[in-house]
Amino acid sequence: MAPKTLDTDILILGAGGAGLFAALHAHKAAPGLSITVAVKGLLGKCGCTRMVQGGYNVALAREDSVERHFMDTIVGGAWLCDQELAWKLVVLAIERIKELENELGCFFDRNPDGTIHQKAFAGQTFDRTVHKGDLTGIEIMNRLAEQVWARKIGRLEEHRAVELVKSKDGSAIAGVLFIDMRTGEYVFVRAKAVLLATGGGPTMYKYHTPSGDKTCDGLAMALRAGLPLRDMEMVQFHPTGLLAGTHTRMTGTVLEEGLRGAGGYLLNGERERFMPRYDPKAERATRDLVSRAMFSELKKKPTPRGGLYLSMAHLGAERVAKEFKGMVERCADCGFNLAGGLVEVVPTAHYMMGGVEFAPDCTTELPGLFAAGEDSGGVHGANRLGGNGVANSTVFGAVAGDAMAAWVKDQAPREPDRAAIDAAIAACESPFRKKPSTSLEAVREKLYDVMWEQVGIVRDAAGLQQAQAELAALDSELDSSPVAHTERAFNLTWHDWLNLKSLVAVSKVIAAAAIARKDSRGAHYRSDFPEAGALEHSAFTSVKNMTVSMKPVRFTRVAPGQTLLRNVA
Ligand SMILES: Cc1cc2nc3c(=O)[nH]c(=O)nc-3n(C[C@H](O)[C@H](O)[C@H](O)COP(=O)(O)OP(=O)(O)OC[C@H]3O[C@@H](n4cnc5c(N)ncnc54)[C@H](O)[C@@H]3O)c2cc1C
């Protein structure tokens, strides 16, 4: 089956903050280039940047500084961050927020004196989170999408990337194979430079926050292309995901951190407040600590539905209704009274700190392939600060756009490895050639349970090894699971099968990295190794042998015990 072939200079996979910033910057740097954004959903309407509630961290105030933002990021990341990436994040966040307001048309909330309002977020020593109410992501994405639409930037919507295809000699990227989801046709897009910006997304856990279009496809493609991944054991759980029942996708969605910040209580199934027993900061402790305490309480005294309660009523229903209007409405839609009653919650998988290893100019080990946003690893170390996620995707998206525009100037289109394209098509076609066996629903439920119970908030060697065996079995089960309907146009069962293949592949890497890290640090907690160990980060280098090695962190700007002083270049 020969795919349709298209040509472009720059191909961008994903249309979140990273993808759209890359498109705008590449176009600005070299307006004559042909740039194409290819996205699994609709441009501007999918991915997690649109879901950003809280806001964007940036050191704008005179009393704040990039050094302070940098130190908060390094300490928050439990000293595992790549310091050059973190430095670039905090410095360029200032440029990006100004570009968003002054060039791209965003309006962020302002103080009475006209300056941008910045609010407090956990883990930061200064109030530096820029926001638009609690719908910051919609403001950013709407403006970015409008700007992309207004320029001559190509769009391939509802195009699912399925394989990064190297050149015939294997020395560089040659393009990407897609499925046009609307027709089911295969499309090969040849490109001189490709950006991986599909946004990671830990949707393999029973409870999760990211958008449904995110199924770690980018990371799975990177694995197949042999790219090294780092810090894959570091999965962040947000403490307050809504528990609204099994019938609704609202389960797992985030109730914002500000509720705990304002003084909300967490209660167990017997309606006892438990957080003061776990940490002096109680509900205001960091996400990892609160999630772990909740996980332990869930095992002992859950609600009848298997969750815990969030209680705000002691703060006064009127105040809660006024300060958290959006959250009150979201809870009411699911039958809960946030202002005056109890809301059922569970910790929920929110963000992957790990991803493809990349350099500060967004290049990767494969020439011509660039990475940015949640697909990349190293910026946040062992833990991401709330507000640094959208900063990461916009900052590095822009860097990648500039870098790709410069790179393609000296490049000619490359002849792709045709055998690799054929093999990728055969792999995508394989579920149509099977005889009926298991249902995909059963595979998904099993995956959710394995990841939640054994590779989730609290881990140990025995559980992780069992998870590895179960994940291998799930992979084989998928390989023998058919897609009953052979119609290709909008065949969602087929895409579900492909989603699960990506999720299982990446879950195996998370489990392998979690086994390799024999200590507890940041988001990774091993009950059999509860103390923090040496300052090393994990590097996953071979999918064939599932090889993970631990590498010492390079303290290129600041070492533990030191602090970065202002005005360091
Ligand atoms: C509910 C929620 C609230 C959040 N709140 C905040 C916050 O307040 N502050 C903060 O800093 N961060 C927050 N985050 C994190 C933040 O949203 C992410 O860090 C960031 O937006 C990721 O940007 P991205 O461009 O890498 O990915 P995304 O914005 O997720 O975009 C990924 C894109 O890739 C596409 N894609 C996926 N697979 C494929 C494929 N196979 N082929 C083609 N395209 C594909 C998707 O359709 C999408 O367009 C929040 C996340 C969630 C889920």
Which residue lies with its CA nearest to atom 50 of ligand 1? Answer: 52
Is pTM beyond 0.85? Reply is yes
For residue range 239-268, list pLDDT tens digits in order. 999 999 888 889 999 998 878 888 999 999
Q: Is 263 left (phi over 0), alpha (psi -120 to 50) or beta?
A: left
The three-point CA angle 146-151-152 to 5° equals 135
The CA distances from residue 552 to 351, 388, 417, 534, 549, in Å, are 24, 24, 36, 8, 10
Give the mean model confidence (pLDDT) for residues 205-210. Answer: 96
Q: Is 319 a catalytic residue?
A: no
Mean pLDDT is lowest, of 119-123, 189-193, 250-254, 504-508, for: 119-123
User: Residue 504 has what pLDDT?
Assistant: 98
Q: Is the pLDDT of residue 334 over 90?
A: yes
Q: Is 444 a catalytic residue?
A: no
Mean pLDDT is lowest, of 49-53, 63-67, 165-169, 483-487, for: 483-487
User: Would you say 70 and 371 are in contact if contact means Cβ atoms under 8 Å apart?
Assistant: no
Give residues (CB < 6 A) around ligand 1.
13-19, 38-41, 46-49, 51-55, 160-161, 197-199, 209-210, 213-214, 217, 254, 351, 373-374, 386-391, 393
Ligand 1 centroid to Cα of residue 196, in Å, is 13
Give the mean model confidence (pLDDT) for residues 351-371. Answer: 98
User: What residue has token string 């194409």?
Assistant: 36
Catalytic residue among 190, 238, 350, 488, which?
A: 238
Catalytic residue among 25, 68, 190, 260, which?
A: 260
Q: Is the pLDDT of residue 569 over 70?
A: no
Ligand 1 centroid to Cα of residue 49, in Å, is 4
Ligand 1 centroid to Cα of residue 213, in Å, is 10
Written as one string, the DSSP assignment of 174-206 is EEEEEEETTTTEEEEEEEEEEEE------TTSS
Residue 180 forms beta bridges with which residues? Answer: 159, 185
Ligand 1 centroid to Cα of residue 201, in Å, is 7
For residue range 125-134, list pLDDT tens digits in order. 999 999 998 8
Q: Which of 180, 224, 390 to mutate to test the pocket of ligand 1 (most atoms within 8 A of CB)?
A: 390
How many Å apart are CA 51 and CA 518, to the nearest integer?
A: 34
Give the pLDDT band of residue 435 (cuts 50, 70, 90).
Answer: low
Give the mean model confidence (pLDDT) for residues 88-105. Answer: 98
Ligand 1 centroid to Cα of residue 16, in Å, is 6
Q: Is the pLDDT of residue 78 over 80?
A: yes
Give the mean model confidence (pLDDT) for residues 498-517. Answer: 98
**What is the distance in angstroms between the CA of the first residue and the CA of the last residue of the chain?**
55
Give the mean model confidence (pLDDT) for residues 164-193. Answer: 98
Ligand 1 atom nearest to 375, measured from its CA = 26
Q: How far is CA 102 from the centre of its chain?
A: 27
Q: Is the pLDDT of residue 566 over 70?
A: no
Which residue lies with its CA nearest to atom 14 of ligand 1? Answer: 52
- Here the tokens at position 490 are 């909008």
